Structure 1
Amino acid sequence: MDPAFERHYSELVARERSGHTAVVEGNLLYVWGGYMSVADDEVFLPNDEIWAYDLEGGIWKVFHMSGEVPPSMSGTCSCSLNGHMYIFGGCDDNGQTNQMYCVDLTDGKYMWKKIIHEFGSAPSPRDKLSCWVYNGRIIYFGGYGHKLLTDVDSRNRSFIVDETSWVEDVFWGWNNEVHIFDPIQSSWSEPQTQGRAPAPRAAHASATLGCRGYVCGGRVMETRTSDIHCLDLESWTWSEILPVSTAPVGRSWHTLTAVTDNALFLFGGLSVDCKPMSDGWLLDIETKKWREVEHPFKNKPRLWHTACPSKDCDVIVFGGSCDYILLVDTGHCNDALVFQMQPYPLFRICQDYIAKNVRTSEMLRNQLPLLPPKLLKSVQRRISFYRPSKKQNTT
């Protein structure tokens, strides 16, 4: 084992990575997969382990995974549904895949199960796609992957061939397809969408608000965009949101997170001129106005990271690259950035105040044991989170 791996394992801090996947279940941020750079090589992270970050205590744990373990890969698409993490697609040592796996995050066993669908046809192999969760189903959009020549219809603009990548009768390219997976029925289907769909793309960002799925930016052939599109997940009608204010610059490998009932938070990515981004923006979907957000992580650009909604409207950004990932030995990250998107409730404000000041206040230290046991345990977890030696970053 590489000494660097041993060092990070002994400190119980998740290894730096990009192209990984992450979901929040309860108070834990689960991180799986991705890759990192070792010397001149790109190395996939182990596929038989999952890292869990305690969002209250700020402590990492690693769990061994068993069962039908998926291959190590990056660029897979994940979501959390009914306590399970589902992953679909991605790129492994053999290229893009269209396999699906799930793992129960609630039973403590962390046993992978390969999903074999009973009805319909799975999407073609792809990575760097996105998904929405609605009404107990997972809806996938876009990505970059390959199709056989017999499956490519030049009249159908849902798949644009990458002219630089083809081998005999296999073509790579971008798509704007919509596919639905129903876990209960174990079935794939394709809805008949209406309206003008977004251009085929990959490395874009998506988020769900109510019964609508939103798509932002991404790699569209040879450029990167910042356009916003919305798919009504009941009528399956596409519409484009045309901002009435200054919009973020075009980008790919960024994230989009729902933070309120009518607001989406965009962070980071790679700009049109291949610069790593650290800007944050809020989009009000009712007024169609973008607003740049001030935050303390302007010196921490990220791309191909993950962003997960947490309690109290926090957004947890983990990992990613701080440099252009197509460069050799790029700078992958392993810190957790916590963005506060709304004022905290009074209870959390009090908890955090005690946690931050108990070491310097004799009065707080003396009164801490007087708290009820359940409250004391909760406060002690927050004290652990604010230990000076912790590696996470918070607002």
Structure 2
Amino acid sequence: MDGVYDAPLSSRSRLERSSHTAFIDDGVLYVWGGYQVADGEDVVLPSNEMWLFNFYSGIWERKELTGDVPPDLMDFCGSYLNGTLYIFAGCDGEGYTNDMFTVDLRSECCVWKRLMNPNGKTPSPRSKHSCWVHRDRLIYFGGYGCKTVGEVQNGSSSSFVLEEMSWRTIGGTLFRCWGWNNEVNVFDTLTRTWSKPETRGAAPVPRGCHAAAILGNKGYISGGVEGATLDLYCLDLESWMWSCLDTSGSVAPLGRTLHTMTATPDGTLFVYGGFGTCGPTLNDAWQYNLHHKRWTKLNHQHKDKPRVGHTSCLGSDSDIVVFGGSSNLTLQMDSVAILRSPWQEHCSDVLIFQTQPYSLSRLCEDFIGRNHAMFDKYLNCLPSKIENKLKKRCAFFSAIKPLQSDLTD
């Protein structure tokens, strides 16, 4: 069943954000970074804190992070692997960066560390890129950033689309080319080594602000470029072969950017929201069936909640968990440039999309949780493991009941 879970009023304003990173581990949603808009200005949220939402209790908790805290970052890429959060690249106060920061979230003291002296050649500074996590590797794709003239001349002309040129020195190196790329860069977390595999096949054109998902040994990307309909590409992460998936059919999503795409175990890709190439912030949900090669538009209860710059994670029972983002991003055009409206409504609610029927066990747990007054005196008759699990479900529905009453008033 689709659901909406919001933060308490006391913390809601601190949780509202866009362009953050989020992931789920052991029934907890972790949220870090991003920005808000205040008085028409972007305000980057603190790097020394992380917010946790417990799906069993329905409670938000703030976690403090110490150490070599990352600078204020925009348009970075966050990835979670084996208890560690990796933050790579983005824009700081000085411009584009290619630094990497890590924090072990399973340790008692969560301490940020800046990656120093990795092996191999670090990718050029960039933003608006994506990442697949595969076999202890972080595999980055695309983005917008800067390169030296030599890097552009030595690389393939098809892998970098030049947008602008100007003279600027970063870290003692002269950069003068800004543009989009479709590069694939791999970071081995065990050996701390960067590498750049040679891909084959029909690669997508350079892009950023796209969405990425992984299922098995295959990584998928969609959107991030102008197009009437949403394109979809697949990269085999073993053979490094690109392929363009067939998305022709009677229905297909509009082209978009700043959306999310999440793979489910039954072989589908779930796409939600984004900014349409025709302008509006979108509220539609789609599934692409990788077996039958076709799109299906989903009916859902969140049509009043358009989202752009949000995050999407795979939850329990193949639920899709969407958090944050902006509900009303608009762009204004004048004779010189395309400008973003300074008034944005950032969100702090957690949206749940059900993608398949729940098991009988899940249905029973939710029924008891919603009607805990009927069952409280019987719970201590159950085995302790089941009793504790049901008590958490009861606590969760008790925590969200006031919010649901407010939403239906």
- TM normalised by structure 1 equals 0.91
Distance 1:392 1:238, change over 3 A: farther
Instruction: Give 3-state SS (helix, strand or coil) of 1:89's partner.
Output: strand
CA distance in 2, matches of 1:393, 1:150: 59
The reply to whether residue 309 of structure 1 matches residue 314 of structure 2 is yes
What is the identity, as a one-letter code, of the residue corresponding to 2:286? Answer: W
The 3 A distance-change label for structure 1 pair 94 and 172 is same
- 1:52 maps to amino acid: L
2:113 equivalent in structure 1: 113
SS in 2 for 1:380: helix
- CA displacement 1:18-49 (0-9 Å, x = unmatched): 01111112111111100001112210001100
Unmatched 5+ residue regions in structure 2? 1-6, 169-174, 331-339
2:393 corresponds in structure 1 to: 382
Deviation at 1:13, TM superposition (A): 7.5
Q: Secondary structure at the match of 1:18?
A: coil
Q: 1:26 to 1:367 in 2, by over 3 A?
A: same
Does 268-277 or 343-352 show the bigger shift? 343-352
1:12–1:204 distance in 2 versus 1, CA, 3 Å: closer
Matched position secondary structure for 1:278:
coil
Tell me which residue corresponds to 2:15. 15
The one-letter code of the counterpart of 1:371 is L
Residue 89 of structure 1: aligned partner: 89
Q: How many residues align?
A: 382
Tell whether the 8 Å contact from 2:81 to 2:133 is kept in structure 1 after alignment: yes
The letter of the residue matching 2:326 is S
Report the counterpart of residue 29 of structure 1 in structure 2: 29
Q: Who is 2:378 aligned against? A: 367
User: Residue in 2 aligned with 1:249?
Assistant: 254
> Do the aligned partners of 1:58 and 1:390 also contact (CA within 8 Å) in 2?
no
Amino acid at match of 1:108: E
CA contact (8 A) 2:220 2:233 kept: yes
The 8 Å contact of residues 123 and 185 in structure 2, kept in 1 or not, is answered as yes
1:53 and 2:47 matched: no
State which drifts further: 85-94 or 263-272.
Answer: 85-94
The match for 2:64 is 64
For 2:149 and 2:210, locate their aligned partners in 1 and report how far apart those are by CA, in whole Å. 25
> Is the CA contact 1:274–1:324 (under 8 Å) kept in the aligned structure 2?
no
Determine the structure 2 residue equivalent to 1:233: 237
1:152 alignment partner, SS class: helix
Q: Find the counterpart in structure 1 of residue 4 from structure 2.
A: none
Structure 1 distance, partners of 2:237, 2:329, is 34
Secondary structure of 1:383's match? helix
CA distances 1:113-141 after superposition (whole Å, capped 9, x unpaired): 11224321111111111111112111000
Question: Quick one: distance in 2 between partners of 1:28 and 1:14?
Answer: 18
Aligned counterparts of 1:372 and 1:200: Cα–Cα separation in 2: 56
Call closer, same or farther: CA 1:77–1:155 in 2, change over 3 Å.
closer
Deviation at 1:96, TM superposition (A): 2.0
Query: 2:404 and 2:77 mapped to 1: Cα distance?
Result: 27
- Whether the 8 Å contact between 2:103 and 2:113 is mirrored in structure 1 is yes
- 2:176 is the counterpart of 1:170: yes
Residue in structure 2 matched with residue 328 of structure 1 by the alignment = 342
Tell me the distance in 2 between the aligned counterparts of 1:285 and 1:256.
13
**Structure 1 gaps, min length 5:** 1-6
Distance in 1 of aligned mates of 2:214 and 2:105: 21
Paired amino acid for 2:354: Q
Displacement of 1:166 after TM fit? 3.8
Structure 1 residues 79 and 390 mapped into 2: Cα distance closer, same or farther (>3 Å)?
farther
Paired with 1:12 and 1:321, the residues of 2 have a C-alpha distance of 14
- Compute the displacement of 1:81 (Å): 1.0
Q: Structure 1: how far apart are the matches of 2:35 and 2:69?
A: 17
Whether 1:180 aligns to 2:186 is yes
Partner residue of 1:133?
133
CA contact (8 A) 1:89 1:97 kept: yes
Distance (whole Å) between structure 2 residues aligned to residue 253 and residue 83 of structure 1: 26
Residue 383 of structure 2 aligns to which amino acid in structure 1? P
Distance (Å, rounded) in 1 between the aligned partners of 2:178 and 2:117: 24
2:286 pairs with 266, 281, 285, which one?
Answer: 281
Q: What residue number does 1:152 align with? A: 152
Which amino acid is the alignment partner of residue 157 of structure 1? S
The CA deviation at 1:244 is: 3.9
Cα deviation digits, residues 73-107 of structure 1 (max 9, x gap): 22211121111111111222222211111111222
1:293-316 deviation line (CA, Å, top 9, x unaligned): 111101100011010112211111
State the 1:365 CA deviation. 3.4
In 2 relative to 1, CA 173–393 (structure 1 residues): closer, same or farther, beyond 3 Å? Answer: farther
Look up the equivalent residue of 1:250 and give its one-letter code: G
Q: Report if aligned partners of 1:13, 1:60 keep a CA contact under 8 Å in 2.
A: no
Share of identical aligned residues, percent?
Answer: 42
* Partner residue of 1:218 out of 203, 221, 224: 224
Q: CA contact under 8 A between 2:229 and 2:253: conserved in structure 1?
A: no
Confirm or deny: 8 A CA contact 2:269 2:289 kept in the other structure.
yes
